[in-house]
Structure 1
Amino acid sequence: MVSSSLRYPNTALSVGGLTHYIQSLLEDDEQLQQVWVTGEVSSVNPHRSGLFLTLQDPDEQAAINAVVWNSQLDRLAVMPVRGEQVIVLGQIKVYPARGSYQLTIWQVLPAGEGLRSLRHRQLRNRLEAEGLFDPDRKRPLPPHPRVVAVVTSPQAAAWGDIQRTLSHRYSGLRVLLSPAMVQGELAPSSIAQAIRRVEQDGRADVLILSRGGGAAEDLDCFNDERVVRAVAECSIPVITGIGHQRDESLADLAADLCAHTPTAAAEAVVPILDDLVEEHQQRCLALYRVAAERVEQEQRHVARLRDRLSRLRLDRQVHQRIQVVASLRQRLIRSTQQRLQQTQQHTLYLRQTLQTLDPALVLRRGYAVVRQEDGAIARSAGTLRPGDRLTITLAQGELVAEVKSIP
């Protein structure tokens, strides 16, 4: 409820009235109708109506928007270049519809290298000398990550773009957000801490460092040494997707891969799942075709062998071989029988010879064997002497005799 003692002022201004009042103060001021301003060009954006730029004072942390209309571009002494220190001549103009003011530039003069650009160049040279931007340090991104970590602001459009892109390309992928400030004085330490949180968590296979587009001064945090070192020292591959700027930030140079937009970074991290399925199906079809061709080749080979077998008439050859084996068998049987008969006859002959030579048979026919005392057979009477004792072996029994005389 509104207190009854509160009185509405009779002099309250409308928004339009206040804006017009501010416009008259600025545009009617003689000093602001033609003013020389020195500053560093922090951003330059060509447009169909003119050249829009931002002048910055790094020491005072101040900036002003400016424009050079197309009709004035050909009259400039030098074209404004990002990072250069310039002196401009212009007029302050107020735009009531936007409630803003900017400097309309008529002339641009060179004033040397800007302090911000100089500091950026010196930092880049120092980090480059340390090897933080060396291509040999770049690591390939995992082809099929299971967990993707994203370092960005939860309120940034970049976070939504990355989520949509990853979900569309690779459904079921786990995405972790490590929130960070991505603009302002506190952004560098916030980004470095967010990267370290991802490392300590240990689940992510790849990290996306991202924010949407913006003016160059809005992206200064990605040129901060703390952020660059955090990116370079990260134990997992890092891909950056920072804005739509043509110039790469130092964080881009230190990252394993640089994409120019958050969406492009998400596209580089994962393949399209549908494409993988289609590739797998194509490989299956190719494998099936190769297998079918191999089977067809082997079938043709078997057919050729069958044809060769039919021409060789193996049944006839086998029959001939059987006949040869049967003939050899008969020859072997006959040869064995002949050899057996010969052996039997020879055995009979030997038996008869042995019987003829058998001493027992001789003795049975009335013969006797006479042995001397030393056991030697007496074959001649001339070897005997009277008185020699002899042993006479008969067919049955033995006799002992003494030689009485030898005629």
Structure 2
Amino acid sequence: MTADVTDFLIPDTAVSVAGLTEYIRSLLEQDEQLRQIWVIGEVSSANNHRSGLFFTLQDPDGQAAIKCVVWNGQLPKLMQRPTVGEQLIVLGSIRLYPARGEYQLSVWQALPAGVGLQALRYQQLRNRLEAEGLLDPQRKRSLPSHPQTIAVVTSPTAAAWGDIQKTLRQRYPGLHVLFAPATVQGEQAPESIVKAIERVEKDGRAEVIILSRGGGAVEELACFNDERVVRAVANCTIPIITGIGHQRDESLVDLVADENVHTPTAAAERIVPALADLYNQHQQRVVSLQQAVQRELETADDQLQGLRERLQRLRLDKQVQQQMQALIWQRQKLVQITSVKLQQATQHLEMLRQKLTALDPKAVLQRGYGVVRQEDGMIVRNASELAMGQELVIQLGQGEVKVRVTELIKPPRRQGRQDLHG
């Protein structure tokens, strides 16, 4: 069973927000200690306004800060005008601003108290970085002109992340964006930013990193002057662009980054070109190329016409005709010589063919002769090599004949030869 809101009794002592604020204001502004109090601190930020100078006093350790204002009528009476980085002793009274429920110190007088500790630390760190060459412009790398994958290091709840996403979608749809969330304000911010950068490096896909956060007072941006963050940015293997706040003063991270702009949106615009701009550039290049081709064609036409006129003046066409006639004569002469050589070669070939025919054993056989061979294929040249009953093969001009020796006839004796047996 649920209770209806009407079941609860509203006490008569309940007050409105304005009533509560007025009560707190009366406590603060009527306190004797707070109506006239001296405060010492370091000026961490200062902004001129049409009604006066607004600045922030901060303890050296950055643990506490108070907003202050010097109205225009009081500014000329100050012994020392508040300047960022200086330590001041100010005299004023506490006042409450009801519209925002904030209190501030209305300053009457400001006395110099030396250089602030925060400013001194800033300068010392900057001197060390400069001595190491980390602020040298020569070490800065150029950003990729058309990256396909980028990484963003910022707070997931900050407006900067939304501004960057919106800008990237409008300018370059389809871009692969890696988000590395980090705390960008407070004591945990330096370590968180360093770890986010390390995650992006380890992942290895990003071609460029955007390190950003939205606007804020100087004391809220202290993490970007922290030595751990500065060195992480300086030593990062991936190019980094910073878009930190709307302040005119540059942080140390801005000085060591490869490039820096004043807002997250400007960083996103710097990283990727707008597709519309790319299309216009492409169209301009097409037009320029067409014009260049047209100029080249006109130049080539002019050169061709000049060569034609020069050819006519030198009557080179006549020389070409003479050379062609000479080539025709040479060709005819070559054909004639070649024909004679061919005829001689043909006659010589015919003579060789006749000689070959005369020496060809088959031609002899065609005239009625035969070749007698033994069974082993040996040619029979002497009857004395044969025996009675031996089978022989006679090769004729057309075919072969097998015969058997039935009689051996000795060759007649030659005259003048002596018989050694009587």
- Normalised to the residue count of structure 1, the TM-score between the two structures is 0.74
Change (3 A) 1:320 1:118: closer
What CA deviation, in whole Å up to 9, does each residue of 1:252-293 have, x standing for no partner?
A: 111111111112212222223322222222222222222222
Change (3 A) 1:300 1:238: same
Matching residue of 2:353: none
What CA deviation, in whole Å up to 9, does each residue of 1:86-136 have, x standing for no partner?
A: 011111111222211111111111011112222222222223222222222
Letter of the structure 2 residue corresponding to residue 175 of structure 1:
V
Match of 2:155 among 153, 156, 161: 153
Matching residue of 2:201: 199
Matching residue of 2:28: 26
1:12 is displaced (CA, Å) by 2.5
CA RMSD of aligned residues (A): 2.8
SS of residue matched to 1:11: coil
Matching residue of 2:261: 259
SS of residue matched to 1:160: helix
Structure 2: gaps of 5 or more residues: 337-422
What CA deviation, in whole Å up to 9, does each residue of 1:63-85 have, x standing for no partner?
A: 11110111111111111011111
Matching residue of 1:215: 217
Letter of the structure 2 residue corresponding to residue 155 of structure 1:
T
Bigger shift: 279-288 or 63-72?
279-288
SS of residue matched to 1:145: coil
Letter of the structure 1 residue corresponding to residue 103 of structure 2:
Y
Letter of the structure 2 residue corresponding to residue 268 of structure 1:
R
Q: Is residue 178 of structure 2 the alignment partner of residue 168 of structure 1?
A: no
1:300 is displaced (CA, Å) by 3.0
The CA distance in 2 between the partners of 1:196 and 1:320, in whole Å, is: 80
Letter of the structure 2 residue corresponding to residue 80 of structure 1:
P
SS of residue matched to 2:66: strand
Q: Based on CA coordinates, which of the two structures has the bigger radius of gyration?
A: 1
Matching residue of 2:74: 72
SS of residue matched to 1:104: strand
The CA distance in 2 between the partners of 1:147 and 1:111, in whole Å, is: 50
Letter of the structure 2 residue corresponding to residue 188 of structure 1:
P
The CA distance in 2 between the partners of 1:209 and 1:172, in whole Å, is: 21
Query: 1:318-397 alignment to 2 at 5 Å?
Result: 318=321
1:153 is displaced (CA, Å) by 0.9
The CA distance in 2 between the partners of 1:234 and 1:320, in whole Å, is: 75
Query: 1:56-67 alignment to 2 at 5 Å?
Result: 56-59=58-61, 61-67=63-69
Change (3 A) 1:30 1:295: same
What CA deviation, in whole Å up to 9, does each residue of 1:153-193 have, x standing for no partner?
A: 12211112222222333332222211111111111111111
Count residues with an aligned counterpart. Answer: 329
Matching residue of 1:282: 284
Matching residue of 2:93: 91
The CA distance in 1 between the partners of 2:272 and 2:191, in whole Å, is: 28
The CA distance in 1 between the partners of 2:99 and 2:304, in whole Å, is: 88
Matching residue of 1:186: 188
Matching residue of 2:230: 228
Change (3 A) 1:48 1:315: same
The CA distance in 2 between the partners of 1:106 and 1:244, in whole Å, is: 29
Change (3 A) 1:303 1:65: same
Letter of the structure 2 residue corresponding to residue 26 of structure 1:
L
1:322 is displaced (CA, Å) by 5.5
Change (3 A) 1:306 1:160: same
Matching residue of 1:36: 38
Matching residue of 1:10: 12
Letter of the structure 1 residue corresponding to residue 159 of structure 2:
A
Change (3 A) 1:316 1:48: closer
The CA distance in 1 between the partners of 2:35 and 2:61, in whole Å, is: 26
Sequence identity of aligned pairs in percent?
63
Matching residue of 1:124: 126
The CA distance in 2 between the partners of 1:320 and 1:220, in whole Å, is: 90
The CA distance in 1 between the partners of 2:141 and 2:185, in whole Å, is: 28
Matching residue of 2:244: 242
1:319 is displaced (CA, Å) by 7.8
SS of residue matched to 1:77: coil
Change (3 A) 1:291 1:116: same
1:5 is displaced (CA, Å) by 9.8
1:314 is displaced (CA, Å) by 4.1
The CA distance in 2 between the partners of 1:140 and 1:128, in whole Å, is: 20
SS of residue matched to 1:74: helix
Change (3 A) 1:313 1:257: closer
The CA distance in 1 between the partners of 2:322 and 2:75, in whole Å, is: 108
The CA distance in 2 between the partners of 1:214 and 1:28, in whole Å, is: 32
Change (3 A) 1:305 1:8: closer
Letter of the structure 1 residue corresponding to residue 51 of structure 2:
S
The CA distance in 1 between the partners of 2:284 and 2:98, in whole Å, is: 62
1:315 is displaced (CA, Å) by 6.2
The CA distance in 2 between the partners of 1:313 and 1:233, in whole Å, is: 72
Bigger shift: 197-206 or 113-122?
113-122
SS of residue matched to 1:109: strand
- Normalised to the residue count of structure 2, the TM-score between the two structures is 0.72
The CA distance in 1 between the partners of 2:124 and 2:318, in whole Å, is: 95
